Copies of this chain bind each other. A is one copy, B any other.
């Protein structure tokens, strides 16, 4: 399928679902993927910040600057 050939299309399949976003500063955010753009600037809803696997903060709505992101994966 054509849409599977582009990384942003694959990311789009996670829109509206909970994802884990790993940041360059070692932290992880888990929240519902609401929006992203070509820079991978990303907006999450109902977000929790984890450090070493433990919830550290509840952040609610979060805008993440794309260049701080390592990877995005569906949350288990």
Using CB atoms and an 8 Å cutoff, list the residues of chain A in contact with chain B.
4-11, 14, 23-26, 29, 34-37, 40-43, 47, 59-74, 76
Contact = CB atoms under 8 A, between A and B. Distances in A.
Contact of A65 (B10, B25, B59, B66): B66
Q: How many copies of this chain sit in the oligomeric assembly?
A: 7
Contacts of A65: 40, 66-67, 69-71
Contacts of A26: 25
B7 A43 contact: yes
Contacts of A70: 23, 25, 64-65, 68
A69 B34 CA distance: 20
A76 B75 CA distance: 25
B72 A62 contact: yes
